[in-house]
Every structure is written in C-alpha cells, then in structure tokens.
A and B are shown apart, each in its own frame.
Chain A
Amino acid sequence: MANALRIHPEDNVVVALRELSPRADLELSEAGETGVITLEDIPFGHKVAIRRIAQGEAVIKYGASIGVATADIIPGQHVHTHNLRSVRGVVKP
C-alpha cells in the first residue's frame, strides 16, 4: 500500500502519508515502488529524499525549488530544517 506521495514527477523528495519507521520501503500512490528505503523515522507529512541531493543543490517539491540542501542528502533521509534552508526567506544568504 502506498505510504508516500510524489507531488510532481521532477521532485527529489516525497511526502510521508503516514508515520514511517526506518527501513520502510517507499511506495508512491501514483508511481508504485521506488526502491528507496527510509533510513530514519519520518513523521506524517514530512519529506523523504528519493534521490541524492548534494549540498548546495535545490530540493525540488511541487516541481519547483523549495530551497537548498545544507548538507549532502542520500535517498531515504528525512529532509527538513536540519538539511534544507530557504533561499527566499533569509536576509543574508
């Protein structure tokens, strides 16, 4: 059963449709199996990387940039304030 949603085909993160434990197989409601396994706890509604995202690269959701990675991110990792920051919402980038 699907446990994550990829909002746009170009997204490098997906949204957890329920609380996910480590080692959960990510299955998308639209596209099925991803082959990606969660590496940590992912709260409901939070983002999981499904591609490798290098530090400084854009995190893509809704098919658009939602900010840049502040650390290298590997598939299965939780993507949130610890490794993603806004570009638009900071006074001194």
Chain B
Amino acid sequence: MNGRDSFLGYRRPDGRVGVRNLVAVIPSCACAHHAASLIASRVPGTALLDYNGGCGETQADIDLATALLAQYGRHPNLVGSLVVSLGCETLNATDLAQRIASGYAPTELLVIQKSGGTRRTAEEGAALAEQMVARARTLQREPCPASALTIGLECGGSDATSGMAANPAMGAFSDLMVAQDARVILAETSELLGAEHILIKRARTAEVGERLLRTMEQCERALKATGEDFMGKQPSPGNVRGGITTVEEKALGDVLKGGTTPVVDVLSYGQPPMRSGLSFMDTPGNDPSSVTGLVAAGSQIVVFTTGRGNPMGHAIAPVIKVTGNARTYAVMGEDMDINASTIILGAETVAQVGRRLYEFCLHVAAGQPTAAEALAHHEFKMLRYGPIY
C-alpha cells in the first residue's frame, strides 16, 4: 500500500510543488558571469547559476545548456529568473529567456552591451531581482503530498563506510520515497560499472534493462577511449585511502543507494523523470556536474552520502548530507545533516536511519535549512561534452 505523507510546500500554478522560493540569476555566458554575480550578491533571496559556457563551444553543448538552463528557469523551487547576457555570445539569450518565460514565473533579460556596462547592468538587475523577491514573500506554504517530490540521489567522497552504512540507509530512504509515489533518481554512471547486473535485474521492462546496459557500455567505452585506466579517477585517491580498491567495489557499494524497487526508466543528463518510482540518470561521477543534472530534471531536494566528507550544496536545491563515518561526523559536523555511523556501531539499523533520513527530508521540504544551505553553499556545474573553440 502506498503512503500518503505530506509536507508544507509551495504549490505552483503549473501543478508542481516547490520547497524554496528563489530568484535565479542566470548568466548566458562566462563573460556575463561577473555582472550576474554582483546582482546575486546584492539581493538576498537570489541564487546565481554559475554557468561558464555559452561561447566557443560545440552546438551540441550550447543546445544542451540552453535546454537545461530553460528547465532551471522553470524549476519549482524558483519564483523568477533574470537572464544576464553579454550580447555577442553563441548561446541565444533571448531564446533562453523566452523559454523560461513560457512557465509561470516572471523572467527578465538584461544585455550588458545594451545596458551600458557592468555597474549599470548590476544596478538594473538588482532592482528587478528585488521586485521578484518581494513578490515571492506573499506566497504561503500549504500541505502537499510527498508524491510531489523528485529526489536526486548522489554520493561523493566515498569511503568504505559509504557501502556499509550511508548508502544502505539511503536505499531504505529511497524505498520509503518510492512507496509514496515520489520520483527518485539514481545517477553517476561511471560509479556503477561492475554493479550493472544488479540494476538490470530490477529493470521495469526488458527494454529499460537494455537501455541501462547500453548506457553503461557507452560510458565504459568513452572512458577507455581516453587510453587511461580508471585508477585515480574511479576510484579517486580519497576513495582508495578510505579503503575502496577498485571501481567494481565502489560500484557495488554505490548501487545500494537505489534501494530495492524496480528501475522504471533511464534518463539522459537533466531529463525530467516521467514516472514515479526509481529512475536512473546518465550523469558523470563528478559531483557538481551530476547534481546539476539531477536538479535540472526537477529534483527539489538532493540527498548526498559522503564518507570522507564533501561539503557541497547546490544553487537552488537543498542538499542533505549523510555520512556513515563517525570521524567525519565529528570533524566536519557543521557540513553534515545525518549521522549514519550508528549503523556501523550497532546502535541503529539501516531501516531506522533510512526512516530518520526520510523524516528529515520532509522537514527540509517544509523549509528547514540543510547544513549546506546554512553555510551558503551554491555549487553549480553544467556538463560539457565537447572541446572548446
């Protein structure tokens, strides 16, 4: 039987639910970044999307970034967007602003070469952003079902405790979310090489299993085409110091994040999940890039397990940190939300920590800040496939 838990969220006119009310400041190229960052630093309630492409890139990368930045602009955690363009970049900022404006939230486009330079753009932008933030203050939270949530699953800075405690607890959490009909997204393709058989066995249909296999094979081929062995990347030097020797070992600990439910779909980088349940998204193991893809797909919250301690958050989505390493919890406590090392000490079961994480997640959905939010983390890294001109 599926659950009917709820939380206090912001219902949007398009039927989706937000857990935060933020105004995004989106530079459409690296050259517009500084002016955009000035606006974001002046107006509380704004979030800078730290995009640094937009020019001199392949059309495929420009198209991907435009599509995903447009999805960002229509993300349910946002109540408005300000696109800051230089005026001569490859990325079509007018098109981007129009795509965002097709959603419910107000959208403005500023062009530095028309506004008259850095300071004028920043002043004009800050005034517009302040108006958007002020309008958002009138919005009220109301009860929303947990099924309205899309949750991204991520791990970073893994060590041996990740596979013993934090990832199994995240798996239990994922099962609880799926039982609510929420959408949960497992990601990080290169970190699952050696554990694909476990996911393929759980594919909803043979066709989903086939796509899972193809995605994994493609990733392995692309990485091996570089001529480099994985060691030093998968696993990373920190993973190795933490007791993880091979990519297979990392993968078998990693795959536990996805719990036990069927894999209902395979998504490309940033593609929104269409079905409730556990989907798999093809993202790199690199944490900021992977999380940026998960949030582009509409994840309102990301849950992030870390053994060695990764403090990162995200520009517009709360990131919940879980560690299974008691030492990390002791020395980096300010960056952590959930201590899962109790599983290793025998003080709590995997199911108990999974339940605790689930309840914490609903509180975060209702407005409780995560450690990364309290520390003003705002990481954002758009994936780039091709070379730069």
Contact = CB atoms under 8 A, between A and B. Distances in A.
A43 B194 CA distance: 25
Q: Is the interface of A mostly helix, strand, loop or mixed?
A: loop
Given A62-B253, A88-B220, A5 B247 contact: no
A89 B234 contact: yes
Contact of B193 (A64, A89, A91): A89
B242 interface: yes
A66 B246 contact: yes
A85 B246 contact: yes
B245 A80 contact: yes
A91 B231 contact: no
Interface residues of A, number: 29
Interface in B159-201: 159-161, 163-164, 193-195, 197
Nearest to B252: A62
Contact of B243 (A46, A64, A65, A87): A46
Given A47-B245, A61-B249, A88 B160 contact: no
A73 interface: no
Chain B interface residue number, banded: 20 to 34
A45 B245 CA distance: 11
A93 to B, nearest CB: 10
Interface of B: 159-161, 163-164, 193-195, 197, 220, 224, 227-231, 234, 240, 242-243, 245-249, 252-253, 307, 325, 327, 344, 346
Given A45-B307, A67-B248, A90-B231, 17 more contacts: A15-B243, A43-B243, A44-B327, A45-B325, A46-B160, A65-B194, A66-B246, A66-B252, A80-B240, A81-B231, A81-B245, A86-B194, A86-B229, A87-B246, A88-B193, A88-B220, A89-B231
Q: Which 4 A-B pairs have the closest CB atoms?
A: A89-B230, A45-B160, A45-B243, A86-B246
